[in-house]
Amino acid sequence: MQIEHPSSETEAQALQEALAAQVISEDQFDSISTIAGTDVAYDDATNQLVGAIVVLDASTLEIIETQVVTESVRFPYIPGLFSFRELPPLLSAFERLTHKPDMIVCDGQGLAHPRRFGLACHLGVVLDIPTIGCGKTRLTGTHETPLETRGASAPLIDNDQVIGEVLRTQDNIKPVYVSVGHRASLSTAKEWILKLTPKYRLPETTRQADQQVNRALKALQTQR
């Protein structure tokens, strides 16, 4: 597993654009029996990142395995280039997994990114695994407001291109922003996000990974 570490913003943008050409926006997988969630958080007091990957049974949504890694920050906070900051701890966590997931859902954007290469695309291309982006907020593009019922959606459009879907996962709750990461179509991405949100706004993959990251951050704080 190789990842380049750019030394400047310009170098990072060029690398993004080069890797974006490798993104596959169609379904390229067999059956999905395990699905993973990711989350990354920053501890400003120690300049460290906590990255978590939680693997779930795709049918029951029960946790199969969890890996959490804490690493020092390698890339500065630059909007649009978050994946270079957040990817290293996620790759370290992935390497520790004994159950490699059939699909990954990222707490962030895929194609719904100014250069069409958010974290979900970056992780998917590097690992060559079907990946979906599911962000809590919009990074780019415009959209109409979807109906207030679960399953309602509206296309997310940027420069006359559909880059994702604004999806209502629960009645009368704020929607999420779903986009292709790698080797999964947008329709498949929407289908899986609805499967992963039987009770809450956010997918179980994201919720479980977020809980692991929060526990790790609290542990760091108690050590200080």
User: Is the separation of the CB atoms in 181 and 163 below 8 Å?
Assistant: no
Q: Beta strands 34-43 and 176-182: pairing type? A: unpaired
Gap between the Cα atoms of 33 and 5, Å rounded: 33
User: Is the separation of the CB atoms in 92 and 136 below 8 Å?
Assistant: no
Q: Beta strands 131-135 and 103-106: pairing type? A: parallel
| Type of residue found at 96 | R
User: Is the separation of the CB atoms in 138 and 167 below 8 Å?
Assistant: no
Question: Could you tell me which residues are annotated as the binding site for Mg(2+)?
Answer: 39, 107
Strand locations in the chain (E):
34-43, 48-57, 63-72, 103-106, 131-135, 153-158, 161-167, 176-182
Q: DSSP 3-state assignment of 177?
A: strand
Question: Could you tell me which residues are annotated as the binding site?
Answer: 39, 107
Instruction: Give residue for tokens 């029960």.
Output: 62
Q: Which residues touch 197 (CB under 8 Å, ≥6 apart)?
A: 169, 170, 203, 204
